[in-house]
Structure 1
Amino acid sequence: MSDAAPPRAIPADDDAGLVQRAVAGETAAFEALYRRHVARVHGVLWRLSGMHAALAEELTQEAFLHAWQGLPGFRGDSAFSTWLHRLAVNLALMRMRTPEREETVDPDTLVLLAGGAREFCAGERAELEQAVARLPPRARAVLVLHDIEGWQHQEIGAALGIASGSCKAHLHRARGLLRALLGEPGATLHDDTGVRGDD
């Protein structure tokens, strides 16, 4: 029989307990935080990246690396999930500010979309995700953060460095473009919002 202690099982701790243990150097606690939050983080990064699977995966890894490195400085003013989510979104937004990269939708990703959806909805969901991916980066970011992630205009404005009024205009533009991309009768790709189209 070995003198080594068996690996410690991770109880169903809340995030605060796991964070304390991870800061103390317990890697199993950070692994538990990773498992608990990776799907949501990856999901928002996938949408913000325009359904670019490789970029979303890269950003997800980078977000958790930054979280691990920044964990000792986490003060607990907000929930860990909120802190992690904002860290991930900020990484994606910084990446969007870098020189343009080719915006493409990973075809393998489209095949995976239908896997969890009911058969009659799979095509519509894929069409919606493709349309969101085709939006200009800033319009896509505002739409995803507001309509999918539930952020307020002030929060989005602060993250993107724009006024909340501009955020509302970008959201209006994004919704109009999305309706046009989805072929809604009467919707056009003409941008009449007054929002600059250079994003």
Structure 2
Amino acid sequence: MVFGANPVDFSINEMTEKDFNQLYHTYAPKVHRLCLGYSSGDVALANEWLQETFIKVWNHSNSFRGEASMDTWIYRIATNVCLGDIRKSKKQMKVNDELLTESITEEAVTEEAETIEKMYACIDQLSEQNKTLILLELENVPQETIASSVGLAHGTLRTRLSRIRKSLLNCIKHGIR
């Protein structure tokens, strides 16, 4: 497959080191910017993902079928590298959180239970509609769904939930509503 429409013109199934260098220099700056976006500006992480992307490009060059443009194929690899690493990091964070949770003392568990008890006591003091709103929010019901089910505009709901959260925080910390 020869790609005359792309800035890099060679058969990817017969990629030489020179071809790869040309491909790298053509696409690396854009891929690096993409990786920077996923890494929230962490240059070291973006550089790692950039390197991993082009290792995969080299190792899997024979799998490029030409159904999409070369840059689309490379960006897809980069996106998969970034998202895959982010997912791994989240899983690792969950494992670390679980290990941390297991090490919580009984005193911390008791303190947390008291805070939850205070929170529900404060929720009980809310008006019926505000109680409904915050309980649905605590159940992770999407705000759009909550707004439509209680007949509020989404913006109004967001404002109301913000005020309810502040009120609950004040109530939990100081016993004041």
Q: What is the TM-score of this pair, normalised by structure 1?
A: 0.42
Q: What is the TM-score of this pair, normalised by structure 2?
A: 0.47
Question: Which structure has the bigger radius of gyration?
Answer: 2
Q: Going by fraction, where is helix more abundant, 1 or 2? A: 2
